[in-house]
């Protein structure tokens, strides 16, 4: 080897060694408790790394106050990503510059303050250019469902939430909240990207958003928030999955999978919605798309599949506004562009003048009347295809005289009230590219070139529209690498949201002393099979998991005789309790309850199914507490008799839009000698942010019920939005009214037989307490 080559090699080795040493000498301190953490934070300098030791960190309030640089951020990491568990009454506050947090797992707890992760320490110390990434927040929900908090609060500027998994918030308040209170927090350019927002359960009231950006008070301020490349999976907290309440926000390339709500431009102007995918199904009419209020929005390249909701939950809901609207109500829709979107198997994708309510002027003040129709709004180059039932693509609740239609194509005849030369029926074929993705077999290039349409440069999957353009969200050829949803592309690299469920087992029980023990030892999903006989129970059976209690011999049913204290239940339903009672006879002493919830701290919803059973001699069939919520209550093929009260679901009496159950089904059952009301199901307050409750009473017999009911109403459902009472027989029930139904919501009795049992009354519009 020549001497100059040897010298060059020596220099290279020296430089490599120096670099390696510098890398290895990057300050990193492993901390094992809160005191050590606080010391490390106080000494932190740019480039330092604070490492939390693996294990459970319980009841810790972590405060990271430091200043890194763009080149040398200060990092807070887990010793092993996913093996540092933040539990109990814990949270994390961030203040300073260029800080990065990663690898933490928040579980089995709740925040003792307003937020789990907060980009602010106090009013003087907030975060700029900071990042929370590769973390999990799972079921870190308040014990009391009515206590409000947020799981991530954005303050400051240029902060980022990325590659996180966030799921399971049940309590009051948006999961993610972005604040714009003060010049330090506007024009923030925050980013929420590459996250997996897992299921948020139905809340049973307002304030269950997944993301809220701003509020009505700051809705005219510029935010420039970017929400991109996130996967929203069954985010069902309320009608607004994302509530945009500020200006200049962008929502790009997100997937909304079976979410019972919409991306809502609630307040603020000039939002961009591009390349988002909304996937519904055939089983729910509550899954929504995009709802539009205010001015200047561009809605382009979005894809909608089986979005069959109506009004607030339609694929495209364009609202009416309130004249001279205050900031917290509804401004008129103006100057909105809806172009190059595809709607596949969405029965009526376009809903215009949603929320028009001139007919309610007798029960609402003038300040709530939405009479201003959309103006200067253009729908162009959109594609609508339905395999069936596509004749009514537009539903209008007022005149549609401010909307311009240009070169929109549909494969079905348009029988809607709204017609236009810009709504063109033509024959075209589509091909199935994946389970949820369909696209035309060839490009339809007869596009409308509107003002600034040249700025729409790509399609849903990034294909260049300047080279080959077409109507709809997708231009051929399609990038085959983007046809499937890969959940692994979202959230932390170390975490899987797909939990392995243990196989359920069947456990036979013959003695009453074994029943509670077997319930306690059971795994969620197990079946407790009761042999025939009488089981005398002196204490409540606690249900905190998914359990089926079933009689073994349907011809000789097991009997549970409750001998416990008065005002206690035979079954006490705890958070996550999901109970199926099948083929069981339940008997009380007239002073106990068959089923009830905890008196407080019902943090997570419960469920109850009663099938092929008999419930006799109880004070209440079901009694719930304030703050409790059932996703589903179902009674089928059962006998309920000789009880003082039926199903009591009316504890949310503050008229703030909350209610105690989402779905109540009563079918093919007999109710005999219920002294007061059979069902008391209540939702108060003028609120449009939730499903609003569902009651189905079908094919039942009601005999000699209601004689002690003070209201003289047998089935009480005030404020519940969806009510069906059909094919029932009412015989000798000494009440004035069987039910009062809400005419505006289309409620009416159908094919019921009434003998000496009062009547149905329909009130067209209910006067409800204003909440805002």
223 CB contacts (<8 Å, ≥6 apart)? 178, 180, 186, 187, 188, 190, 213, 214, 246, 247, 248, 249, 268
Tell me the two tokens of residue 329.
Answer: 């109500």
**521 phi, psi to nearest 5 deg:** -85, -10
R_g (Cα) of the chain, nearest Å: 29
Q: What per-residue confidence (pLDDT) applies to 20?
A: 45
Nearest to 91 by CA among 120, 71, 68: 120
Q: What is the distance between the alpha carbons of residues 60 and 35, in angstroms, rounded to a whole number?
A: 10
The secondary structure of 131-156, three-state, reads EEECCEEECCCCCCCCCCCEEEEECC
Residues of 233-263 as b/e, b for ≥16 C-beta within 10 angstroms? bbbbbbbbbbbbbbbbbbbbbbbbbbbbbbb
Residues listed for the chain: 772
What pTM, to 2 d.p., does this model score?
0.95
Distances (CA, A) of 740 to 2, 451, 683, 762: 101, 52, 14, 6
Neighbours of 282 (CB within 10 A): 8
Cα 288 from chain centroid (whole Å): 11
Q: What per-residue confidence (pLDDT) applies to 573?
A: 98
Pairing type for strands 120-122 and 125-128 reads antiparallel
Structural contact between residues 764 and 743, judged by C-beta atoms closer than 8 angstroms = yes
DSSP codes of every residue in 255-318: EEES-SSEEEEEE-S--EEES-EEE--SS-S----EEE-SB--EEES-EEES----GGGSSEEE
Q: What is the distance between the alpha carbons of residues 241 and 175, in angstroms, rounded to a whole number?
A: 10
Q: What per-residue confidence (pLDDT) applies to 665?
A: 98
Nearest to 237 by CA among 292, 166, 317: 166
- What averages of pLDDT result for each successive group of 10 residues across the chain (772 residues)? 51 47 67 98 98 98 98 98 98 98 98 98 96 98 96 98 98 98 97 98 95 95 98 97 98 98 97 98 96 98 96 96 92 97 97 93 89 97 96 96 98 96 96 94 96 97 94 91 87 93 92 92 96 96 97 96 97 98 97 97 97 98 97 98 98 94 98 98 91 96 97 97 98 98 96 98 91 74
Q: What per-residue confidence (pLDDT) applies to 5?
A: 52
Q: What is the distance between the alpha carbons of residues 141 and 150, in angstroms, rounded to a whole number?
A: 9
Q: What per-residue confidence (pLDDT) applies to 27?
A: 85
Q: What is the distance between the alpha carbons of residues 80 and 92, in angstroms, rounded to a whole number?
A: 18
Q: What per-residue confidence (pLDDT) applies to 26?
A: 65
């Amino acid at each position: 080897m020549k001497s100059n080559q040897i010298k060059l090699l020596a220099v290279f080795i020296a430089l490599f060694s120096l670099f390696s040493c510098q890398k290895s000498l990057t300050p990193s301190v492993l901390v094992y408790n809160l005191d050590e953490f606080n010391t490390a934070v106080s000494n932190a300098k740019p480039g330092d790394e604070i490492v939390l030791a693996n294990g459970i960190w319980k009841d810790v309030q972590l405060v990271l106050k430091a200043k890194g640089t763009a080149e040398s951020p200060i990092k807070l990491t887990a010793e092993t990503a996913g093996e540092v568990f933040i539990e109990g009454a814990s949270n994390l506050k961030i203040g300073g510059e260029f800080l990065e947090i990663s690898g933490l797992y928040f579980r089995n707890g709740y925040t003792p303050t307003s937020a789990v992760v907060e980009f602010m320490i106090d009013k003087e110390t907030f975060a700029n250019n900071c990042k929370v990434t590769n973390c999990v927040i799972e079921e870190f929900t308040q014990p009391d469902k009515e206590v409000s908090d947020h799981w991530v609060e954005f303050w400051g500027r240029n902060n980022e939430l990325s590659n996180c998994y966030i799921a399971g918030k049940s309590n009051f308040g948006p999961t993610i909240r972005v604040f714009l209170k003060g010049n330090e927090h506007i024009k923030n350019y925050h980013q929420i990207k590459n996250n997996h927002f897992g299921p948020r359960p139905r809340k049973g009231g307002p304030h269950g958003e997944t993301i809220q950006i701003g509020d009505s008070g700051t809705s005219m301020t510029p935010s420039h928030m970017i929400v991109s490349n996130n996967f929203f999976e069954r985010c069902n907290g309320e009608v607004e999955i994302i509530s945009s309440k500020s200006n200049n926000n962008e929502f790009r390339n997100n997937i909304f999978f079976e979410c019972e709500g919409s991306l809502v431009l609630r307040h603020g102007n000039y939002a961009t919605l591009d390349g988002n995918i909304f996937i519904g199904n055939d089983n729910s009419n509550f899954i929504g798309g995009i709802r539009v209020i205010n001015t200047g929005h561009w809605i382009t390249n979005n894809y909608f599949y089986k979005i069959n909701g109506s009004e607030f939950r339609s694929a495209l809901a364009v609202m009416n506004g309130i004249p001279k609207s205050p900031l917290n109500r509804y401004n008129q829709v103006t100057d909105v562009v809806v172009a190059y979107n595809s709607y596949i198997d969405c029965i009526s994708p376009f809903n215009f003048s949603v929320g028009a309510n001139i007919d309610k002027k007798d029960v609402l003040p003038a300040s709530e009347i939405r009479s201003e129709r959309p103006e200067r709004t253009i729908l162009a180059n959109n594609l609508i295809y339905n395999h069936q039932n596509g004749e009514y693509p537009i539903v209008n609740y007022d005149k549609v005289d401010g909307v311009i239609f240009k070169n929109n194509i549909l494969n079905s005849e348009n029988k809607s009230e709204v017609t236009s030369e810009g709504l063109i029926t033509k024959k075209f074929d589509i091909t199935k590219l994946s389970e949820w993705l369909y696209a035309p077999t060839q490009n339809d290039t007869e596009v409308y070139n509107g003002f600034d349409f040249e700025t729409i440069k790509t399609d849903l999957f990034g294909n260049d529209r300047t080279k080959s353009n077409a109507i709809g969200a997708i231009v051929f050829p399609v990038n085959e690498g983007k046809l499937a949803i890969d959940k692994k592309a979202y959230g932390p690299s170390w975490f899987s949201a797909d939990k392995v469920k243990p196989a359920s087992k069947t456990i036979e029980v013959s003695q009453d002393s074994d029943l509670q023990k077997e319930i306690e030892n059971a795994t969620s999903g197990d079946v407790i099979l009761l042999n025939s006989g009488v089981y005398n129970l002196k204490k409540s059976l606690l249900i905190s998991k998914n359990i089926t209690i079933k009689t073994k011999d349907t011809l000789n049913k097991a009997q549970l005789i409750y001998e416990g204290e008065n005002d206690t239940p035979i079954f006490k339903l705890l958070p996550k309790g999901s109970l199926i009672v099948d083929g069981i006879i339940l008997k009380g002493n007239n002073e106990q309850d068959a089923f009830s919830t905890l008196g407080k701290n019902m943090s997570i919803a419960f469920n109850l199914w009663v099938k092929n059973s008999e419930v006799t001699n109880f004070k209440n069939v079901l009694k719930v507490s304030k703050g409790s919520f059932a996703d589903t209550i179902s009674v089928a093929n059962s006998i309920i008799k000789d009880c003082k009260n039926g199903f009591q679901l009316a504890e949310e009496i503050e008229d703030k839009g909350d209610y105690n159950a989402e779905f109540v089904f009563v079918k093919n059952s007999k109710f005999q000698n219920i002294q007061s009301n059979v069902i008391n199901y209540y939702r108060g307050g003028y609120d449009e942010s939730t499903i609003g409750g569902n009651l189905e009473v079908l094919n039942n017999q009601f005999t000699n019920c209601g004689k002690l009911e003070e209201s003289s109403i047998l089935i009480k459902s005030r404020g519940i939005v969806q009510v069906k009472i059909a094919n029932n027989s009412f015989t000798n029930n000494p009440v004035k009214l069987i039910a009062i139904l809400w005419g505006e919501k289309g409620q009416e009795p159908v094919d019921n037989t009434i003998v000496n049992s009062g009547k149905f009354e329909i009130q067209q519009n209910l006067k409800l307490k204003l909440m805002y």
